[in-house]
Structure formats: structure tokens, C-alpha cells
């Protein structure tokens, strides 16, 4: 998962503002602006994360805190990145 995160971060850091304004195809083939598709991906992840929290609550299982922390904006080389994003730690479960 960390390798995929690094690869994705490298791709996103390479995008120029004009790249984010381009029209691209959604997974269903409909035209969409690139930044809107990226936002939808985040919203989709949040939706499923919420589902997991509900299922854990229904099972009476402990849930990790919902609060996030701001990830320091750095590149894979330790340099400052132009991207600022919220780091949501992965869900971890203890038995």
C-alpha cells in the first residue's frame, strides 16, 4: 500500500494546473474535469470509510479515531511539495 501511495503522490505532484482542468473520461465513459474526478475519488473513499465505522459500531468493536492530522507537504525526496493534503491514517484493527 505504501508503494502505491508513493507512486500516486509522484503522479499527482507532476500534474500542472492545466492538467487538472482537462476533460477526461470517467470510469463510466462520461466526460468530466480531471479535478472533479479526483475529488469524487476522495469522497468515495470517505463513504466506504464511514461504512466500515458503522459496521464496527454495530459489532461493538473499537474504532480508531475519526480525527485526521495534516500531513507535512513533502515530496518523496524530502523536499517541500506544492500539494497540501489531509493524511487519513489507514484503519488498523486489534484483536
11-67 confidence digits (pLDDT tens)? 989 999 999 999 999 989 999 999 999 999 888 888 888 898 899 889 999 887 665
Q: Say if 25 falls within a structural domain.
A: yes
Q: Say if 95 falls within a structural domain.
A: no
Q: Say if 78 falls within a structural domain.
A: yes
Domain carrying residue 36: 2-87
Q: Say if 41 falls within a structural domain.
A: yes
CA angle at residue 87 from 41 to 28, to 5 degrees?
5
Q: What domain count does the chain have?
A: 1
Q: Say if 93 falls within a structural domain.
A: no
**CA distances (Å), 83 to each of 2, 32, 37, 79, 95, in order?**
18, 22, 17, 11, 36
Q: Say if 92 falls within a structural domain.
A: no
Average pLDDT over residues 1-7: 86
Q: Say if 11 falls within a structural domain.
A: yes
Q: Say if 49 falls within a structural domain.
A: yes
Confidence (pLDDT) at 45 = 85
Amino acid at each position: 500500500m505504501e508503494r502505491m501511495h508513493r507512486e500516486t503522490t509522484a503522479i499527482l505532484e507532476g500534474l500542472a494546473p492545466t492538467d487538472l482542468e482537462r476533460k477526461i473520461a470517467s470510469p463510466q465513459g462520461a466526460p468530466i474535469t480531471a479535478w472533479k474526478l479526483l475529488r469524487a475519488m476522495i469522497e468515495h473513499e470517505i463513504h466506504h470509510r464511514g461504512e466500515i465505522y458503522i459496521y464496527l459500531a454495530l459489532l461493538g468493536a473499537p474504532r480508531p479515531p475519526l480525527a485526521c492530522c495534516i500531513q507535512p507537504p513533502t515530496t518523496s525526496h524530502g523536499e517541500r511539495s506544492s500539494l497540501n493534503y489531509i493524511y487519513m491514517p489507514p484503519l488498523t484493527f486489534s484483536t
